[in-house]
Structure formats: structure tokens, C-alpha cells
Amino acid sequence: MHTVKDFDFLVIGSGIAGLVYALEVSKLGKVAVVTKRSLYDCNTDYAQGGIAAVLDEADSFEHHLRDTYIAGAELGKKQVIERVIKEGPKLIQYLIDLGTDFTRLDNSYDKRLENLSLTREGGHSHRRVAYAADSTGHQIMEALIHNCRINGNIEIYENRIAIDLITQHHIPQAEGFLPGITCWGAYILDTTTNQVDIFRARKTMMATGGAAQIYSHNTNPDIATGDGMAMARLAGARLANMEFVQFHPTAFWSPDGETFLISEAVRGEGAILRLTDGSTFMERYHELGNLAPRDIVSRAIDAELKRRGEKYCWLDARDIDHDVLRRHFPYIDGRLREYGIDFTKDPIPVAPAAHYFCGGVLSTIDGLTDIRNLFAAGEVACTGLHGANRLASNSLLEALVVAWHAAKHPSNSEPVDFPPIPPWHQLEDFNENEWVIISHNREILGTIMHGYVGIRRSRRLLKYALSRLENIYNEVNNFYQHNAVRKEVVETRNMAVVALAVIRSALMRKESRGAHFLIDAPERDDLKYKLDTII
Ligand code: FAD
Ligand code: SIN
């Protein structure tokens, strides 16, 4: 049994991109928000450092633009960067008006932008990061979720995973219905009952976030399996710049492999990186030292650790005023205490971990994709803002601005004709005996990506990774084709699709730029490669 649910707008994902779009288009019609787990299970809720925008008189749009372009190794698109940056202040005020409780300069209720306290992160030439202690994302989520819950036009569906977009490839009789590919919603699996329903919608917003879970060592929550990138690709959309996987330099390191992020804002407030013998090293790698762009810091740590045969280095925050440290970073303080670490007295063991996808579904600043009626916004999308490496705290900003623009796009008001949509071809059998195909391949995939497609790459290792991932994809896809659909199977197949896109893109770029460093070609080659990698 399946049901068909009709909406004007289907939003897949409940992070900042999905909920901002949902709130804005709810003024035009009925909206469904579907999300894999609870509304809070998303990268947005984990965001620590803050959201970047020009909020200080001494700063300027030109400076933010320049910092973004330079951090992105000059691959970003200047028109996109300019538009996103110029919208920043207005839309941060929008988040405040929705109830986001950013840290302010004084304790008054003055909620004007002028009263925001600003912090600094790597690659920024000014203090321009608005934050809510070290739980910025959670504060934003509280405000967005509250406003969605009280909105009579928004229906929320938790524990639902979108398994496929509804396009011509599911509806043979819709071939020639319209030229090009059109999206009419998605097949959605209820993970509590394993029933697949049709969510039919005039417009679908893909706001499914990133894919750092394809790396065994990463900062992301479990949901970040690249579903949106895989679904869009399988439906015929282009992906761009997938080789640029950003590693965060300072993920907490522990012998048991447990990790969480130590915000770059800790370095912004004065913490420094040290090797385990106490010596500093970042001054040897970049003039901005500890606050160099993220790709440079991650690579420097990786090189030092490999040279010394060590697994972690220290982040030393002991010289920061202890009150400032505890007040600004209460979440990190609490997590470190679980491991017996007092960051006012002890250095913090850290190592780089996969963190953010600069590439994704090729889209415009309005969220338009190759597929008619399908928008994409947030980490799933590649608009051209980040280029080859994202400037810290520019991702919440991008998600906010693009989701907002998508919601204001005139096509949201257009009527849409629907072809008859067949139910999901649900198989009855599920081969428990072969479940190992999923569990085993999922684990191996992460290890291969970490070892062969990490911070420093070689073409030989990339080719080995490609052949192993092709096998993994074939095994997992075969299981997917012949068994009743399950969340873990869908996710693992999507992870393989995304991993293959990362490897193929990395093989196409025979130079080093931003987050893609190739040992065989360590220099940048503007003549040949100052262009997007398209899959
Ligand atoms: P997300 O917030 O990740 O939301 C994706 C949503 O899609 C989730 O609800 C998920 O459940 C849902 N979903 C996924 N697949 C499916 C599916 N198949 N079906 C249904 N639902 C699905 N950026 C900054 O700018 N500043 C920061 O300080 C910062 N700190 C960070 C700290 C950490 C630890 C991490 C992990 C990231 C940080 N980032 C930061 C990056 C930033 O948080 C993300 O890029 C951004 O929040 C992405 O927002 P989003 O709406 O695109 O996706
Ligand atoms: C952090 O707080 O270091 C994360 C910031 C980001 O990813 O933009």
C-alpha cells in the first residue's frame, strides 16, 4: 500500500537551506518538509563558529569578496560571490527577526546588527563572523524550527528518506511530455514502516546537505551521506567541483576515534597549533600563520604529522583569557571535559577531518538546477561561491541567501501539469543473509576515501580507489535492485555514487588547487584548469 500526498512545495531536508525556503514559500502554498531523522539532525545544528557577513564599519563588501575569492584559490565566480555577500547583512537581520539569539556586544535586548559581537576565523581579513557562543547552528535551528512548527502551511515529516526524484526516468509515458528533464516530487520512504509514498509537488527543493560521511574520519552527523547529490546525478543533473572536499584542520583527536569539531574561532581568538614537542609550525607555511585558509592549515598539519609519524598535534588555547574562552566556547569546554581535558590548562589533541563539500549539484544563485522544477540550496549545491576551498563561515551564509533567492523565484507561482505517477516498484523480499554487502562496503568505502582520496592525493592512488569504488558500487547497486528498499541501502548506494564523482573529478583535475592537492602536480595551472570540473 502506498499513499499519494499532494503539495505545492516539497522540501527535502530540514537544515538552514530547507527551512528558510519552506518558511518563505509557505506564503505561496502548501509545503511538506521531509527529513531523515528529527528536524535537528543536520549539519546546521552542529555549526559552531558562526555566519560570515560584512557587519562592521571598518569592513567592506570588497574585502569579504577578496577573502572569499582568494580562499577559493581564484576559482569562485565573482558575480556569485558579490551577490551572496551583499545579501548577508539583510538576511542575518532576518534570522534575528525570526528569533536567532546571536551573541551581542552587551546584554541588552538591542537586536540591531550594530550590536552583534563578531569573531574571526581563518582567511578573513576582518572580524566578520556573527556567532551564538559555539552553538551558532543550534540557535539558528531553534528559531527556524519554532517558526515552521507554528506555520499552518507547513507539514513536517520526520523519519522519512527521499529515495528518488520523480522524473521521466520513472514515467516512460512522460517521455516527450516536456523537453528536458522535469521533477514532479519524490518517492519517500517512511523509515518506521518501510512504506514508500509519492510526495507530488509543483516544486521540489533539494536541501539535503553534504556528504562528508563518505570519509571514515569526519566532523559531520550521520545524515551527511550525499543523498541529494546522488539523487540529482541519477536523475540526470550535473555535479560540479566534487574534488574539492574541505578538511577541517582541528577535529578533536582521541585514541578511540571519537571526534567532534574544535571551532576555528578558537584560533580566531588566539589559540595556536603546536607539534607534540611544543614547537610551532604554521609560520613556515603561510604569512597568516594559524589563521591561514583552511586547506593550507590542514595540509600543513597533514605534512607535519606524516613527517613525524604522529597522529595528532596540539591546539593550544591556554594563553586566551580564561573567562573569554569559557564564555565563548561552552560546548567545546563541556565536550573536552568528558575526556578529562581542561582547555585553560591543557593543550587539545587535534587532527584534520573531512568537513565540507565545496562542490555539489550545479546550480545558480537562485537555486535553479538542470532539472525543471528542482531547486538546490545549501551544501548540496555548487553555486560558484566557494571555488576550490570555502572561506570559514561562508556556508551558512550561502545556504541562507540561496534558499531565500530560490523562494523568491517567479517560477514558484507557475502552475504545473502532472503526468500519471506510478507507485514505487516495491519488492517484498529482503535478503538478511547478504546484509554484509551493505555494512562491509559502507565501512570500506570510508577507509578507502580516507586513505586514497584524502588531503594529499596521487593519481596512482586515485586510480586504485576508482577501481575499488566501481566494484563497491556494483555490489551495493545490485543489492538495491533486488531487495526491498531500506534506508541504509539507499544511503550506501548514494555514498558510492558520490565517492565515484569525487574520484573521477579528482582524476580530471591534473593540477593542485584549493582543497585538491595532487602530489604528481603540486602547482596550480591557471592556463588549463581555471574552470569548473563538471560530471
Ligand atoms: P544540513 O543542515 O546538513 O541539512 C540537511 C538535511 O537534509 C538534514 O535535515 C538531513 O536529515 C536531510 N536529508 C539528507 N538526505 C535526505 C534524504 N535522502 N531524505 C530526507 N532528508 C534528507 N558552516 C558555517 O558557515 N559556519 C560554521 O560555523 C560551521 N560550523 C560547522 C561545524 C560542523 C561540526 C559542521 C559539520 C559543519 C559546519 N559548517 C559551518 C557547515 C554548515 O553547517 C553546513 O554546510 C550547513 O549547515 C549546511 O546546511 P544545509 O541546510 O545545506 O544542510
Ligand atoms: C568552525 O567553527 O570552525 C567551523 C566553521 C565552518 O566550517 O565554516
pLDDT tens digit string along 248-280?
Answer: 999 999 998 889 999 999 999 999 999 999 999
Q: Tell me the torsion sign for CA atoms 288, 252, 95, 295.
A: positive
H helix or E strand, kind and range, residue 164: strand 160-165
pLDDT at 234: 96
CA–centroid distance, residue 44 to ligand 1 (Å)? 4
Q: Ligand 2 centroid to 46 CA: how many Å?
A: 9
Phi, psi (deg, nearest 5) at residue 247? -100, 130
CA nearest to 160, candidates 127, 135, 195: 195
185, containing H or E segment = strand 185-190
Minimal CA–CA distance to 231: which of 259, 189, 261? 189
DSSP class of residue 280 equals B
User: DSSP character for 368?
Assistant: B
Cβ neighbours, 10 Å, residue 146: 12
Q: pLDDT class for 377, splitting at 50, 70, 90?
A: very high
Q: Given the residues 120, 160, 233, 294, select the one marked as catalytic.
A: 294
Residue 526's φ and ψ, nearest 5 degrees, are -65, -30
Count CB-CB contacts under 10 A for residue 141. Answer: 23
Domain parsing of the chain, residue ranges: 245-354, 432-529
How many whole angstroms from 48 Cα to the centroid of ligand 2?
6
CB of residue 208 inside a 6 A radius of ligand 1: yes
Please tell me the total number of residues recorded for the chain in this structure: 535
> How far is the C-alpha of 348 from the C-alpha of 318, rounded, in Å?
10
Q: For residue 514, give the 3-state DSSP assignment.
A: coil
| Per-residue confidence (pLDDT) for residue 426, from 0 to 100 | 84
Predicted confidence at residue 111, as pLDDT, reads 82
Indicate whether residue 263 lines ligand 2 (CB < 6 A).
Answer: yes
Quick one: cell of 41?
539532525
Element (H, E) at 251: strand 245-252
The arithmetic mean of pLDDT across residues 178-199, rounded, is: 94
Residue 129 CA from chain centroid, whole number: 18
Q: What is the pLDDT at residue 173?
A: 75
Contacts of residue 27, Cβ cutoff 8 Å, sequence gap at least 6: 153
**Can you tell me the distance from the alpha carbon of 401 to that of 256, in angstroms, rounded to the nearest whole number?**
39
- Is the domain spanning 432-529 CATH 1.20.58.100? The answer is yes
Asked if 402 contacts 365 with a C-beta cutoff of 8 angstroms, the reply is yes
Tens digit of pLDDT for each residue in 11-25?
A: 999 999 999 999 999
Same fold, 245-354 and 432-529: no
How crowded is residue 167: how many other Cβ atoms within 10 Å of its Cβ?
A: 25
Kindly give the distance from the C-alpha atom of residue 14 to the centroid of ligand 1, in angstroms, as a whole number. 9
294 is catalytic: yes
Q: Is the pLDDT of residue 172 over 80?
A: no
Residue nearest to atom 24 of ligand 1 (CA): 393
| CATH 3.10.105.10 matches 245-354 | no
Task: Verify whether ligand 1 is closer than 6 Å to residue 42 (CB atom).
Answer: yes
Q: Is 36 in the pocket of ligand 1 (CB under 6 A)?
A: yes
Rounded to whole angstroms, how far apart are CA atoms 148 and 14?
A: 10
Q: Is the CB of 16 under 6 A from ligand 1?
A: yes
Q: Which atom, in ligand 1's list, is nearest to the CA of 121?
A: 28
CA 193 – CA 157 distance, rounded (Å): 13
Pocket probe for ligand 1: among 42, 217, 263, 492, the residue whose CB has the most ligand atoms within 8 Å is 42
Cα separation of 293 and 303, whole Å? 16
Considering only CA atoms, which residue is closest to atom 26 of ligand 1?
Answer: 393
How far apart are the CA of 392 and the centre of ligand 1, in A? 14
pLDDT of residue 316: 98
Amino acid at site 529? Y
